[in-house]
A and B are shown apart, each in its own frame.
Chain A
């Protein structure tokens, strides 16, 4: 594993930004795309996702096939009406098989936790349900993960989130830049390499039920959603995944199920995504 210089400056800058800003979300939010909605002041939100993914068709000489279980545990807290803080702790069980001797391995343990902040800098509520919001997000991945999983360096991230809800229709757009100060010479997943990564996502949510909220139908809602999840890395790799899903959101909890499938891939430095199944739970308390 190599590392880049100036890591200290990058990490310090990210931490400074994190202190003045902050994250959260979850309400009417996509499965793989964040929304510019936050828990209100003093409110905690918990989110747990479990993912099973497969990667293959490795264009590198390593010819790796990968199956992986991932757990994403997230906790967010509303600091003010417009600022929230979040920590996300990933755990990984990764099975890598390669036709090259010595390149097959099993890695398990924690991946680097992400400390993040969301700062809603614009909102316009034009109707009882209708809202338009824009948030800034910033954070840093802390290199305390297990060997063969951790990037080994503080990795700052920052970006923006735009959310637009009109009646039964909702849309979220995110753009996120990750400074990969550490990383792997032979990465497996998008963003794991030594080149910076840009994540670009869009989600469309349609409220299936209730068609119209009333005092008696405000307790929960079913949504169908479809997302486009893209990752561009500065080494030239680019991948777009399409992710249909379904979600239930109650007043205190939410359930979600989605699958990511490849739509377009131009990848030369790592295996390509075959699929990613994700189930998740959201709790408000």
Chain B
């Protein structure tokens, strides 16, 4: 039993030291992705995302973004990390929603660009 107490203590220690936690600020974004809860203007946005290492990662972020009301189409370029998001004409997503979707996918949002 002593062995398990040690294991549990180790797990809690490591968890306390984890570098990326939900709610933590994003590292060095070019713009503040969660700064605005206002719907984005325009018809599209490009997210710059780090950590999408494989085609299934692409599907992961695609699924999370398409859950957002107002997101019509998503196209991912794994090589550059750019995720092109097209909006529906009548409803537009907010920066917060886009940032949350990236976080739910398990990746790191670096920047949200708009034309």
B-binding residues in A (CB < 8 A): 6, 9-10, 13, 16-17, 20-21, 26-28, 37-43, 78, 80-82, 119-131, 136, 138, 158, 165, 170, 212-215, 217-221, 249-252, 254, 282, 284
Contacts and interface: CB of A to CB of B under 8 A. Distances in A.
Interface string B25-63: 000000000000000000000000111111111111111
B91 interface: no
A17 B8 contact: yes
Contacts of B79: 128-129, 212-215, 217-218
A217 B50 CA distance: 18
B77 interface: yes
Interface residues of B, number: 43
Contacts, number: 146
B15 A221 contact: no
Given A40-B104, A128-B81, A122 B56 contact: no
A122 B1 CA distance: 27
Given A6-B1, A20-B11, A221 B105 contact: no
B105 A219 contact: no
Interface string B65-108: 00000000001111111100000000000000000000111111
B19 A13 contact: no
Contacts of B57: 27-28, 37
7 contacts: A27-B57, A37-B57, A40-B104, A128-B49, A128-B81, A215-B82, A218-B58
